[in-house]
Structure 1
């Protein structure tokens, strides 16, 4: 049987249309990636920023872990009362073993939590959760605006030690970001350079690839580059220049 060109074009269009329809159905049926936000026991101003960033439509299945006292705070009441797509679980009721294949976000990071994480001390709810994530290879994100800052009056040796702990977190592949809902599709997020609260650059092993074409990394005073990033840069023939 011979098919003329016009009939063939119509058939091809119908096949393409059907394939696109099936692809759309398959995409819609895919489960959303899971995200767990761990909140502290007391109200912190940084939580305002976290909830302000929540998009109207979440691309994650979001669970917020908090205390009963914290949930009673007006911000949480006003924010969560109308959100049917956000689950809340109290700390005392949670079983971490039930959480698999998820991303953990810490909107607030105390200095104690940062230091204990860097030193692998797991004696609090937060650090035990981090230990679990590390053991399971789960992604951890700490939000930059919620990290406890130095006053600048501390002795230089103290500041350097805290900076070292900060770098250790990055070497543990803990991500430090300005926000976590920047892209509605987590699969399409692009690598970008992160910055500290003081505007200093943070370069981890993952960010080094962005400098392959330039063949150089320009570092200014106060910029942070982890040891693993230095090793990778050297292996790729990338020169580090202190400005």
Structure 2
């Protein structure tokens, strides 16, 4: 089993056009990775790529529907061809289709499961080939405190709980090949997705944020950069004995 790797490793971050994904892509570039910035629309990735290149990093925008097998395979192949074999994967892509269960449609349930859970599976399956060949790799899945249950999010909560099970299983299967797999589960983070949730509940985002902050022990909402810091820890060389773990980054105890 090889223990050598290229000078600049290659990372893929899905859902990286904005929010947590964008912050994570920028952080990993600062850590020395060449970063493939994946999102549904490649043009939407331009600001993230520009932010990385402005600081002297290397980035590639890739459009990809992570719920589609053919497109994930093609995206990973393109990254390997243009940046190099990817050995770090951050599965962050996600959507919300909130509704109470008696109103939730099949499509609302399936689409959320498809992007979050199926997408993480498809991307992990494609990338692990490069990781196992290199004898080194890191996968970080983005779960959520909603995995513990959240009103109006039967689809999202199910997907995020499923990601925790996927994390532990992949850690067992890929560990012998030098690959660690961990999970970051954010609490309340100020992103476009939480703004959409605020709109759904009929309050302003400021009111929504203040309400959550009062219930958080550190008395503030989270920022995308808070999550990027946690991902940065999991993918570093020194974290090689940490695998199969779920880290709640929520300003207080969860789980």
For the aligned pair, the TM-score class normalised by the smaller chain equals: 0.3 to 0.5
Q: Which has the higher contact order (CA 8 A, sep 6+)?
A: 2
> What is the TM-score of this pair, normalised by structure 2?
0.35
Q: Relative to total residues, which structure has the larger helix share, 1 or 2?
A: 2
TM-score (norm 1): 0.36
Max radius of gyration: which structure?
A: 1
